[in-house]
Amino acid sequence: NSVGVEIKLAVTDPTLKRLFETCQLTTHQRKTVAHEVAVSSGGRERVLKVLASPVISKDDLLLGTVYVFDDITREKEIDRMKSDFVSLVSHELRTPLTAIQLGVSLVLDGKAGPINEKQRSSLEKVDRQVKRLTDLINDLLDLSRIESGRIQMKREPISLVDIAVSRLEEMKPQADSKGVKLDLEVEGEIPMTVGDEARIGQVITNLLSNALKFTPQGGQVKVRLSRQGDMILTEVIDTGPGIPEEERERIFDKFYQLSDFKTRSQGGSGLGLSIAKGIVEAHGGRIWVESEVGVGSNFKFLLPIISPEEIDEQDTGRG
């Protein structure tokens, strides 16, 4: 029992000092917090993962903090190489695919001479699979760009209400043909914020297309917007099969699809939610899902409210 023994560490090294300051716990934080920090030592850039865990006394006082340092420079490098590789390969695959797609539609349109029903039906299958492959490659390219930070998110004034309205409109025909009700619910006043309109739209479209994909005929899909303090909450609620608790985090991983045969047979690449997560996090937000199996799912994401007047200030501040 070491109560009464006080050890003080005088940190003079500026790098270390900055590290401790960045990762310091505040008195009301009562759980382990992880940070990734870039430091340069001996002329080399290193990335450290720092875990800061509070040491709490029996009477709930914060006695101190235990720091664990993990050098993840190599992992980061490998991650980047993987991203670069995927991005290069997907880029290279796109060109021949475009040629295949053009060729197939040329023959299908009868421009290379008449085709019979059997040939048409085969070619239509090829056409569908080529489209699927193109979507997959575009998703891969998107994801590797987002992961490597090579996509610069625009900083423009955006209205989540406008984005939701236009994305819902786009999905309406699909919902109608499936016999699923599609609604928008706006609670109170939703302020403008700052972000990338097309990318945030992509998040809503991804969530909506999943919701429609998994909701059976006669079901309902709803987008709800509300203000939560200094954040805007967007919810995409469906009456589909729901997601078991143990899978709720993993569905945001790359290529992850529920093992259930029913969801696998719906197609898709398993990349949509990772892309959505990448975009939301690049905006300083958070995305997660709440769900009850057999009742439905509620995909939620929070975005910070940034006043459009701050755009210039922050942009120049970033250098």
| Residues in touch with ligand ADP (CB under 6 A) | 206, 210-211, 214, 238, 240-241, 243, 251, 256-258, 263, 268-273, 297
Identity of the residue numbered 263 = T
User: What is the rounded CA–CA span in Å between residue 39 and residue 316?
Assistant: 23
- Cβ at position 225, least distance to ligand ADP in Å: 18
Q: Which is nearer to ligand ADP, 54 or 270 (CB)?
A: 270
For residue 238, the surrounding DSSP H or E stretch is: strand 231-238
| Residue 270 Cβ vs ligand ADP, minimum distance, rounded to whole Å | 4
Give 11 or 295: the residue with its C-beta nearer to ligand ADP.
295
Q: Which residue has the tokens 């569908």?
A: 128
Residue 182 CB, shortest distance to ligand ADP, in Å, is 14
Q: How many CA atoms lie less than 13 Å away from 106 in the CB half-sphere?
A: 7
CA dist 66 and 60 (Å) reads 16
Helix (H, G, I), strand (E, B) or coil at 53: strand
Shortest distance (Å) from residue 250 CB to ligand ADP: 9
Distant-in-sequence, close-in-space partners of 273: CB < 8 Å, separation ≥ 6 = 206, 210, 251, 252, 256
Residue number with the smallest Cβ distance to ligand ADP: 268
C-alpha–C-alpha distance, residues 72 and 70, integer Å: 6
Closest CB 254 distance from ligand ADP, rounded Å:
8
Least Cα distance to 182 among 162, 205, 151 occurs for: 205
For residue 76, give both structure tokens: 């980061």
Torsion, Cα of 86, 89, 90, 91 (10° steps): 120
For residue 263 the two structure tokens come to: 């969801």
| Cβ closest to ligand ADP, residue 202 vs residue 263 | 263
Shortest distance (Å) from residue 125 CB to ligand ADP? 20
Would you tell me how many other CB atoms lie within 10 Å of the CB of residue 276?
A: 24
For residue 4, the minimal CB distance to ligand ADP (Å) is 54
CB within 8 Å of 179: residues ≥ 6 apart: 217, 218
